Every structure is written in structure tokens, then in C-alpha cells.
Chain A
Amino acid sequence: MHRTGALYGQFNTLEQQKDTASLGMWIFLVTEVMFFGGIMLAYTINRHTYFHAFAMGSNTLSIQLGGFNTVVLLASSFTMAMAVWSAQSGKKKLIPMFLTLTILLGFVFFGVKYIEYAQKFHHHLVPGRNFDITYCVNNPSKCEDMSAEELDIERRELADAMEADPHLNAHAQLYYSAYFGMTGLHALHMVIGAGLLLWLLRNSLSGMYTPEWNTPVDIVGLYWHFVDIVWIYLFPLLYLIDRHK
């Protein structure tokens, strides 16, 4: 096992070896770009065809929670970049600290996502048999987390949207399918990323990563930043469709 940065026979220098490793990671990330690109393309076509239902669905999301999560994820990208910097400049004590911060911010993201998902289940906004876009407006006593003012806005938006699209309840499910599918796949990537970060943390505590060899920190960093980029697109696509009313 070459785990401490021995030079493999096919490379001329350690640096060439590292560049090759990150090149391989980039090729994997390009396949991920195509994966998420295809999903976002399907989303775009549906959003264009059923705009009223998608706008209605988007406005039921909390921009505060979504915006907060965007800030959390950007901050975690910063701490990840700092972990890479610590490894490159030989600050061995700082590596586990920044990795821990990154993991904690990742878990804050999961926590907020849990609140958002739970609310959608509570409001009957999960696609399926019990889906009902009018649930909160018709049963205000069951949606105690919504203020009278919020319900009033939603009632007016629903009336407008139903006039424009008589099958709003069917088409809104497309929006929520896209919402759960896209944010769910993004969260799955974050779970994998958090697992990799924990593995890095364990190794960094034994002082494995040095300025001469820190390839795993760098590679996992690339992955974590990529997951951040996916969210950078998901946030405006899902949360900010039709806020200017």
C-alpha cells in the first residue's frame, strides 16, 4: 500500500503524480456535471410547460431556510479550502480543526433540510396519494406553523394559479417531485462527502497529511466544492422562481 506518497514508477515527480490524481477526479466531476445537467434540463422543460404550478410550488418553500442553507454550504466550502491550505502549508494541527468545521456545517445543512422536508410532509405536499396543494388553505387549523397572513397570501396565489391551470394539483406534484429528487440527490452527495471527510479527519489526527503528500485532502476538497456548486444552481432554480409579487 502506497499511502504515504511514495513515487509510483509511471510518474516522473510527486507533483506530476498529484496532478494526475486531480485530473482523474475532474474527469469524474465532469460525469457528475452531465448527471445533474440532465436532471436540471428535465426540470427546465417541465417548469416552462407548467409554469404556474412550478411558481406556486416554489413559493411554498421558505426562502429564509433556503438562503440560510446556501450561506452554510458556502461557509463549509471556505473551511474545506482552508483545510487544503493547512495541509499544503504543513499546519498539521489546523487540518483536523478545519475538517471538523466543514463536517459540522454539513450537519447544520442536514438539520435545516430535515426541518424543510418535515414541513412538506406535514402540509401534504409530498407527491402521491395524499398530495393536496390546497391542504393548508382548506385546513388552516392543521397548519399551525403558518400565520394568518401567510395563509392569506397562499389563498390568493392559489386562486390565481388555479384559474391559469385547472389541473394545478396534478402539475404541482411535478414540481415537488423535482424538488425532492434534486435536493435528495444533492443531499445524498453530501452524505457521501461527509463520510469522506470523517475518513480524512481520522487520518489527519495521526498526522498523515504533509506538504509533500496531501492528495486525498485535495481530491475530497474538489468533490465537496462540486457539491456546493450544485447547490448554487439548485437554490435559484427551486426557491426563486416567482418571488416578485
Chain B
Amino acid sequence: MSDRDQIAEQEHHEHIVPPGTYLVIIFTLLFLTGLTVAAAYINLGRFNIVVALAIATLKATLVVLFFMHAKYSPKRTKLVIMAGIFWLIILLFMTLSDYASRVDYRGIRYPMTQHIVVDTSQRS
């Protein structure tokens, strides 16, 4: 047995996701879409956006895992996906914490906690 054949044996075989799984996923996605619209009409104060994004993330996770076969992908593909999400979290977390904590030269927090007023009355 050659090296190539030995390595070939170690590789797993392609996993075919059956249509039944896709059907379950699409109906779950449609249900979650209805849920997110319904939740938008309930006043949850500042948690409206949290609920909306949590449902969106759940939907995106289902699409990635099943429609995009990430669940059945080799470990190195999963690593790339996780690395991508990690970099996205760095982008969002670092930038937002900077905006939330920055103080300008007058000692005024900028701009997440106050509304900037742009004077447009001078414009013709």
C-alpha cells in the first residue's frame, strides 16, 4: 500500500445531508423569522435589539452548520470559520468599547452617550 492510499483511508467519506434535515432547518428558519417580527412589536426597551440579534445569530448558525455543511466539514475548515468569527468579535468589541469610553478634549464623552448636533441651518 502506497503512502497516498494510506492517507486516503484516513480521510473520512463525504457526508451527504438528507433532504429531511434541510426541510427541518428551513421550517425552523421560517418559524424564527416569524418570531423575530412578533418580538419586534413587543416593547422590551433596550432588549429589543438583543432579542433581534440573538434570533438572527441562531438563524445564521443553523445556515452555517447545515446548509453550508460546516457540521460535517474537516476540522481545519471549522478552524477557519471560528477564526473568522473571532476576528469579527475583535472588530466589533474593540471599536464599540472605544466609542463607549472615549472622552474628548472638553471632557465630554463621545459620541455614544450624547447626541451630536450638526448645524445645517446655515446651508442654502
Interface residues of A (CB under 8 A from B): 12-13, 15-16, 18-19, 22-23, 26-27, 29-30, 33-34, 37-38, 41, 44-45, 48-50, 63, 67, 70-71, 74-75, 77-78, 80-82, 85, 88-89, 165-167, 169-171, 221-222, 225-226, 228-229, 232-233, 235-237, 240-241, 243-244
Contact = CB atoms under 8 A, between A and B. Distances in A.
B11 to A, nearest CB: 5
Contact of B17 (A38, A85, A222): A85
A133 B42 CA distance: 26
B111 A49 contact: yes
Identify the interface centre among A12, A44, A226: most chain B CB within 10 Å of its CB.
A12
A75 B30 CA distance: 9
12 contacts: A13-B11, A27-B80, A30-B87, A75-B26, A77-B67, A78-B23, A78-B67, A80-B67, A82-B22, A222-B68, A225-B64, A241-B49
B36 A240 contact: yes
Contact of A232 (B18, B59, B116): B59
A49 B52 contact: no
A149 to B, nearest CB: 17
B40 A236 contact: yes
B91 to A, nearest CB: 5
- A interface SS class: helix
A7 to B, nearest CB: 10
B92 A37 contact: yes
A30 B83 CA distance: 8
Contacts of B112: 45, 48-49
Nearest to B15: A88
B63 A232 contact: yes
A74 B30 contact: yes
A222 B68 CA distance: 6
B73 A71 contact: no
Given A166-B117, A225-B64, 4 more contacts: A12-B11, A26-B84, A33-B85, A170-B118
B4 A244 contact: no
Nearest to B6: A12
A67 B43 contact: no
The 10 closest A-B pairs by CB, nearest first: A30-B84, A236-B52, A240-B40, A244-B43, A78-B26, A243-B40, A13-B8, A12-B7, A170-B120, A229-B60
A232 B28 CA distance: 13
B1 interface: no
Nearest to B43: A244
A24 to B, nearest CB: 10
A194 B81 CA distance: 24
B41 to A, nearest CB: 5
Interface string B81-98: 101110110011001100
Interface string B29-59: 1100100110011111000110011011001
Contacts of B116: 49
Contacts of A23: 74, 76-77, 80
